[in-house]
Amino acid sequence: MTDNLARERLQKLAGFFANNPSIQYVTPTSPQYAELCAAYVSLPDLNPLAIARPSTVEAAASVVSFVVTNDIPFTVRSGGHDSFGRFFRNGAVAVDLRLINYVKIDQESSTARIGGGILGGDMIRALQKHGLAAAVGTISSVGYAGWAMYGGYGPYSSKFGLGVDQILAAKVINAKGELVDADAELLRAVRGAGGAFGVVAELTIPVHRLDQTLAGAIAFQSDDLPAVIRQYNSGYQALSAEGIPAELTLQQSIINLPHGKTLVVLFVWASPDIKTGQLWAEKICALAPVAHNAIQPTTPLTYLTDTDRMVPSHTRGRVRTISLKRLSDEVLDVISANVLKMPADPHTLFAMHELRTGTPSAQAHSDSVFAAREGHFVFEIIGNAQREENLDRATAWGQDFWNELTRTDAENVLPATYLSLSAPEEVQMSRVFGEKYAWLVDMKGKYDPRGVFAAATARF
């Protein structure tokens, strides 16, 4: 974009915001610009033309209508945890929805209407005041809408389902800048392909009576890391074969702790039946020698706050992902070999999310385009680094780890990767959406013929 074009667009924007003073607006010369550009992953090369911060869905629609009418490119930010910075583009206006963060509970229907910019932690905080909870991601600072629309794995996936299956209704700003209630067709597209068809300004989701859980982290003795990985997973697979209650969700990770690389398992029992949860905690702790057990009765909000301490608020680097059906011996060997090579940086780690067979989202949903419906594991290879001197090693480690996983048994690799963790230049949308891809291409032509939502995570 030329300097003249940038100036012309900024002049148009200045006029619009002068006539709409209730909408916050910053440019690169504004003192708040750097703060509002801050995100989970450092993105020094991405500098939006301006940042608009509407505080209502109607104001957001006004902004989108203006930029579309004036052919000004734009992006949408609902949280800011995307490792690839798809919420910003150079020369584009960033529509930052984070001020649209309300939670409106309907006790009669056990649902809540939530603003399109609310963070997961803020939503849980609002729900907890009423003794309620909802499916949410692992980290509180993740934007709920962006998390849910493309899959949404988290600590309640086994009990409540993935985030994508929480979307009961949506208010969407369409390609004309109009605020509409999504009909069944548009809602199906939003459930999996999200912002490719509009700006999701509000979601309606189910909420559940849950004011106490049993949750926490188990750190296993990891002096012999390959051995404990093998021992834990052998026992876990045996438990899975016998049947694990839907109330229990587990997440394995390898974390750099002060005393070394450690297998840490996050345990969440999504039920007030603490006694039964404690029996299952004992079973999981018996799978391998335990160094530290932090499982305790807690609340959904406190647990979310506790897990935040395991992840930095800001970092740099690159995430890679792959989804596998089973943790075969071959896969466990690759994991073991590569976590031993993991750089000893506190921001570098490896984690797995599981969609367990038999749970609510591990079955066909005709009203959704999310395709990964059989039981599987999502690998999160986090090649991030706190220290600049570790950055190249961390990203190279992540690349090598991912390369080795792609060379394992092809029949065990799920065609659909988790879009939220997938680099845009490497994603094949036809593989991600499978038989639903052709329908989505048709829907793109119907709902966004001019391609105004070109910056969306799902692209057609």
Cα distance between residue 137 and residue 337, in whole Å: 28
The pLDDT tens digits of the residues spanning 85-131 come to 999 999 999 999 999 999 999 999 999 999 999 999 999 999 999 99
Indicate if 127 and 187 belong to the same structural domain: yes
Which amino acid belongs to residue 323?
A: S
Please give the residue that has the higher pLDDT: either 311 or 266.
266
Indicate if 142 and 204 belong to the same structural domain: yes
pLDDT of residue 3: 85
**Parent domain of 46:** 3-96
Residue 269 forms part of a structural domain: yes
The pLDDT tens digits of the residues spanning 304-345 come to 999 999 899 999 999 999 999 999 999 999 999 999 999 999
Long-range own/partner contacts, residues 362-367 (CB < 8 A, 24 or more apart): 365/165, 365/191, 367/184, 367/187, 367/188, 367/191
Indicate if 270 and 340 belong to the same structural domain: yes
Q: Provide the CATH number for the domain around residue 398.
A: 3.40.462.20
Backbone φ and ψ for 60, nearest 5 degrees, come out as: -60, -40
- Mean pLDDT, to the nearest integer, of 360-364? 96
Indicate if 110 and 91 belong to the same structural domain: no
Indicate if 347 and 269 belong to the same structural domain: yes
Indicate if 17 and 69 belong to the same structural domain: yes
The pLDDT tens digits of the residues spanning 161-210 come to 999 999 999 999 999 999 999 999 999 999 999 999 999 999 999 999 99
Indicate if 7 and 86 belong to the same structural domain: yes
pLDDT of residue 162: 99
pLDDT of residue 213: 97
Tokens of residue 274, six digits:
């603490």
Indicate if 260 and 306 belong to the same structural domain: yes
Indicate if 340 and 273 belong to the same structural domain: yes
Indicate if 92 and 156 belong to the same structural domain: no
Tokens of residue 96, six digits:
């930052």
Task: Say yes or no to pLDDT of 1 above 90.
Answer: no
Indicate if 92 and 173 belong to the same structural domain: no
% of the chain exceeding 90 in pLDDT = 98
Indicate if 198 and 243 belong to the same structural domain: no
pLDDT band at 387; cut points 50, 70, 90: very high
What is the C-alpha radius of gyration for the chain, rounded to an integer number of angstroms? Answer: 22
- Mean pLDDT, to the nearest integer, of 286-306? 98
pLDDT of residue 122: 98
Residue 374 forms part of a structural domain: yes
pLDDT of residue 2: 86
**Pick from 41, 62, 96: which residue ends a domain?**
96
Q: Provide the CATH number for the domain around residue 72.
A: 3.30.465.10
- Mean pLDDT, to the nearest integer, of 392-419? 97
Contact criterion met (CB below 8 Å) for 352 and 253:
yes
The pLDDT tens digits of the residues spanning 26-76 come to 999 999 999 999 999 998 999 999 999 999 999 999 999 999 999 999 999
Task: Say yes or no to pLDDT of 300 above 90.
Answer: yes
Residue 62 forms part of a structural domain: yes
Residue 453 forms part of a structural domain: no
pTM of the model: 0.96
pLDDT of residue 367: 97
The structural domain count of the chain equals 3
